[in-house]
Structure 1
Amino acid sequence: MDNQSSVSDFLLVGFSVSTELQVLLFIVFFSIYILTVTANVAIISLVRVDPRLHTPMYFFLSQLSFLEIWYTSSIVPKLLANLAGWKHISFPSCISQMYFYFSLGSAEFFLLGVMAIDRYLAICNPLRYTSIMNGQVCIQAASACWLVAFLAVFFLVVLISRLQFCKPAVINHFFCDIPSLLRLSCRETFLEEIMAFFFACSIILTSLLLTVVSYALIISTISKIPSNKGRQKAFSTCVSHFTVVTILYGTVIFIYVRPSVSYPVDINKVLGIFNTVVTPLLNPIIYCLRNKNMKEALRKVMNKKSALRNGMSYSTK
């Protein structure tokens, strides 16, 4: 009965590597985290200060950047603490981390689906685009992404939090992932596994279906444009979003859209790092490198700062 007593905290195994490698991983992950936050804050700031970016596409992009900051922040600080030797996490903190991680991740999927619909309207229905995607509709769509995601995950997390966990409460992961917690349960978790699988399928695959259908219609419309230049211009507005969608969905579907929790944990750790640490940094890089307006806005801000710095230097002389 002692092995089935109430669990007050968990031990996160993290990465079983040498001390030297843990130090190296700490430096790498910390550097990536700082770059991620800085890059996403830069995108939000550019969208706010440049009037040319006051369009639905860049509004949703700034929402995505804001979401990415909190998404990676729900995991990386505890990951860094784990690498520094603080491997224990309290039960409330573990449940909270799981809730915010999956809520923010679900909101990102919904937001990517909305962004795909936005590109569909812009390319396939350009004459009515501005009237359909007005400011109020954009705010409502973004708010719905956040609200539905946080409400949907809440019920799943409550169901899992009511489980009784066996001792030793050791989670073979670097964060409180649902499959890892289900392995620790002292009773049958068939219902929770089915609910988690249904949750993953309903959110991930539904938003993916919206994206696929939108892009199928976009490709069909672009193929009918007579000039090569016109086709390239239309498709260039979708390349960044399509790249982000491919990377994110490919990783998450491999991890979560499975009917069983019994699959290699080490593989999921690597994919989890890519999904929670690397991808949030790739998104702003992809959007900035592939988007002409973003590059011009960044260049404009940098030129202003350079001119201001030169002016101050000249005045001091």
Structure 2
Amino acid sequence: CFLYARSTEDMEKENVTLLSEFVLTGLPHQEEWKIVLFLVFFVIYLITMVGNLGLISLIWKDPHLHIPMYFLLGHLAFVDAWISSTVTPKMLLDFLEKSNISLTECMVQFFSFASSATTECFLLAAMAYDRYVAICQPLLYPVIMTNRLCIWLLVLSFVGGFLHSLLHESFLFRLTFCNSNIVHHFFCEVIQLLKISCTDPSINYLMLFIFSGSVQVFSIVTIFVSYTLVLFTILRKKSEKGMRKAFSTCGAHLFSVTLYYVPLLFMYVHPASSQANDQDMFFSIVYTVVIPVLNPVIYSLRNKQVIDSITKILKNKVQI
């Protein structure tokens, strides 16, 4: 299958020519701000990679962190690094010099982004379920959250992300592009591709609404129910320490989840006709740049066990 575009002369002849490139407009900015924006996003990207890859390395090296909670957290860090690396490098290059993106690169970028974003939704739901079992069913935790179940949750998350992105990518190949090859975004985002299609994209929008909506509703309901039960369980203990722990742990996690899901809901469930390009890009910045850099802080640096592990490693290095 191929994507096609029509030039002005070809449209008159009713011939279709193969589209070879898209033009990404990138983030709207004044020309004099491009170096500043490049440096800001470059620093954020470095912090994202160091934070997430460092967390993966820490979990891998410390045997005390080889439990389901950190097993899932390590893979969440991997997915955050994956999302950021899918989008940010191309955006940084476009700050310095505008360049086209080939059809193959565009499709690979969209597939990679859709796979990682969907996988993160499932992983967040799995992590919320893990916290529910650990706090609400502590005696049954070793029986329920076995290594086998953790591996299954992980496999299903990645397979679900792959199949979901494959579905939308396959529907992209039914489109032709003759009106424009300019994508008003900083990466090959599916809604912006649908907007420039000269083939009726109604079925694509319907698939986005049904499947993306289903993924988000399923994961949001799982997270909400899990953390609600966790909060009630801790609050029933009627201890001030328990209440502080509840609002500190669950509040921070729910804050991260809210930041991640609200933009996704507006982007892929909210009617596309009401969305502005600048608004789309703002939402995209949140879940492709902001969330990946915040998650290591929210999920690990607020965690005493992780901090103790970092302190132990640093002390060992100082002694050496």
Give me the TM-score of the superposition, normalised by structure 2: 0.91
1:8 and 2:20 aligned: yes
CA distance in 2 between partners of 1:155 and 1:271 (Å):
23
Cross-structure match for 2:319: 307
Cross-structure match for 1:105: 117
Cross-structure match for 1:277: 289
Matched positions, count: 308
1:248 and 2:260 aligned: yes
Unaligned runs of 5+ in 1: 309-317
1:116 and 2:128 aligned: yes
Following superposition, the deviation at residue 307 of structure 1 comes to: 1.6
Alignment match of 1:49 (pick from 50, 61, 67)? 61
Unaligned runs of 5+ in 2: 1-5
Query: Secondary structure, in 3 states, of the residue corresponding to 1:74?
Result: helix
Following superposition, the deviation at residue 236 of structure 1 comes to: 4.6
Query: Secondary structure, in 3 states, of the residue corresponding to 2:18?
Result: coil
User: Is residue 179–residue 261 contact of structure 1 (8 Å, CA) maintained in 2?
Assistant: no
1:135 and 2:134 aligned: no
User: Is residue 7–residue 167 contact of structure 1 (8 Å, CA) maintained in 2?
Assistant: no
| Identical positions, percent | 38
Counterpart residue type for residue 239 of structure 2: S
Cross-structure match for 2:167: 155
Following superposition, the deviation at residue 304 of structure 1 comes to: 1.5
User: Is residue 14–residue 173 contact of structure 1 (8 Å, CA) maintained in 2?
Assistant: yes
User: Is residue 60–residue 66 contact of structure 2 (8 Å, CA) maintained in 1?
Assistant: yes
CA distance in 2 between partners of 1:40 and 1:301 (Å):
17
C-alpha change, 1:300 and 1:174, in structure 2 (3 Å) is: same
User: Is residue 114–residue 164 contact of structure 2 (8 Å, CA) maintained in 1?
Assistant: no
1:298 and 2:298 aligned: no
Query: Secondary structure, in 3 states, of the residue corresponding to 1:176?
Result: coil
Cross-structure match for 1:314: none
C-alpha change, 1:261 and 1:298, in structure 2 (3 Å) is: farther
Cross-structure match for 2:197: 185
Query: Secondary structure, in 3 states, of the residue corresponding to 1:89?
Result: strand
Cross-structure match for 2:30: 18
CA distance in 2 between partners of 1:24 and 1:8 (Å):
32
CA distance in 1 between partners of 2:66 and 2:239 (Å):
28
Segments ≥4 residues shifted beyond 3 Å: 230-240
Give me the TM-score of the superposition, normalised by structure 1: 0.92
1:35-94: CA deviations, max 9, x gaps?
A: 100011111111122222121111111010011111111101111121121431011111
Following superposition, the deviation at residue 289 of structure 1 comes to: 3.2
